[in-house]
Amino acid sequence: MQNLVIRGWVLATLMVTISSTPVPHALRSVDTAQMTNLRSREVTTYGETPASRTAYTVVSLFCMSLLTGMIGHRLRQMSLRHFKNLCLTQILILLLYFVSMAFVLSAAVVESGLSLQTHSICRGAIILCLAFYVGSKCIMYLFLVERAHALRAPYMHRTHDWLWMVGVLTIFGGFGTISVCGFIWPLSTISEVDGRCRIGLPQFITIPLLSFDVVVNVLLTLVFVYLLGPLIRSGSRPTLTASRFTQYFGRFCGGGRARDSVNLHQGNQLMVNKIEHLLWKTFIGTCAVLGPTVANMASLTMLKGRELGWVCLTVCTIDVTWTVCIFHWLTLGSHESEERTSNTLVLDSASTHDIFFRHTP
């Protein structure tokens, strides 16, 4: 009996000792890490946060209000007779309005409605952004090519004008090739840590796209200014007074040949003022359009195609709306004749709009 009591006492002592022995620190760390991972997986929610969705909703509503206001203002100035006789430049401007509005509406559905929750929606966001971006740029540069054609060869059919043909082929060939590469290799991921969608394009696409955008914009602007050279050459019209800005561009474009279809009467100071006004608007418009585009593409390049989805859509929405605002300002006239010449200034003996009344090829 005594032996049994001793054995029971020893066994109880061992059990108490084992139960009171502390767990090794390494084992406790592993258990804590596993519990933290499990909790983080349970807490992670996929999609955009309420703050980001609210921010984009405010931006999209503001941009849509601007776009509808601008297109309403333009349509209000156009009569039924204008709709029956729309030229290509006016059609391109109206198309730019509608494409920009379609992009803002589609981006709002993807961001605020679907919240970029799945991989398919996240991938669709970059495809949507790229498609409307390239579409709006093509329309914008077609407008610039048509403006140069109307000033250079208003009576010549477009297919017979080498400048128009080269410009169109360059735009569709360049943007078409780059956009196809973007559609094939887009970057879209949803983080397992925060559940946020990140989209972008690889650097071998963003760098050529940015470079091509800047080069085409600058070249088309220089072509337009060069075609104005015969009208603003310094010294060719001694009776006309011009500002230093106009004289500088006149010397820059001094090699431009005179055209029989352009006739600027001496002493017509009003025409000189219109040329100066057009040059200033062209210069400011080019810089204003390039600014947001360069900033957007530069951010995509620095982030290596991993920009937050709602940030990318917000910047693209602002960029598209800003471009429309600039073109609305560039093409908006103060009266009917200026509205009819929404894309160019070709001067006759008394007015600036006769060439567009005759420009039908």
Q: What is the pLDDT of residues 96-111, one digit of tens each?
A: 999 999 999 999 988 8
In this structure, the number of other CB atoms found within 10 A of the CB of residue 255 comes to 9
Q: Is the pLDDT of residue 240 over 60?
A: no
So what's the pLDDT on residue 154? 74
Select the more confidently predicted residue: 60 or 292. Answer: 60
Structure tokens at 217: 């914009």
What phi and psi values does residue 346 have, to the nearest 5 degrees?
-120, 120
Length of the chain: 361
Determine the 3-state secondary structure of 351 from DSSP. coil
So what's the pLDDT on residue 30? 45
Percent of the chain with pLDDT over 90: 10
Select the more confidently predicted residue: 233 or 169. Answer: 169
* CA trace torsion 106, 108, 111, 115 (10° rounding): -100
pTM assigned to the model:
0.72
Partnered with residue 188 across adjacent β-strands are 199
So what's the pLDDT on residue 307? 80
Helix, strand, coil abundance in the chain, percent, nearest 5? 70, 5, 25
Whether residue 70 contacts residue 324, with contact meaning beta carbons closer than 8 Å, is answered with yes
* Highest mean pLDDT: which range of 43-47, 133-137, 255-259: 133-137
So what's the pLDDT on residue 31? 52
Select the more confidently predicted residue: 229 or 34. Answer: 229
Whether residue 155 contacts residue 361, with contact meaning beta carbons closer than 8 Å, is answered with yes
Gyration radius from the chain CA atoms: 32
Q: Comparing 96-105, 106-115, 204-213, 235-244, which segment has the lowest mean pLDDT?
A: 235-244
Structure tokens at 239: 């009776």
CATH says 49-229+292-333 is which class? mainly alpha
So what's the pLDDT on residue 325? 92
So what's the pLDDT on residue 2? 55
Q: Is the pLDDT of residue 254 over 60?
A: no
Q: Is the pLDDT of residue 36 over 70?
A: no
In this structure, the number of other CB atoms found within 10 A of the CB of residue 203 comes to 13
So what's the pLDDT on residue 63? 94
Partnered with residue 198 across adjacent β-strands are 189, 308
Residue in the structure block whose two tokens are 């849509």:
64
Q: How far apart are CA 5 and CA 9, in angstroms?
A: 6
- Give the residue-averaged pLDDT of 239-255: 52
Confidence of residue 23 (pLDDT cuts 50, 70, 90): very low
- Give the residue-averaged pLDDT of 39-66: 80
- Give the residue-averaged pLDDT of 329-352: 48
Domain extents for the chain? Answer: 49-229+292-333
Select the more confidently predicted residue: 28 or 229. Answer: 229
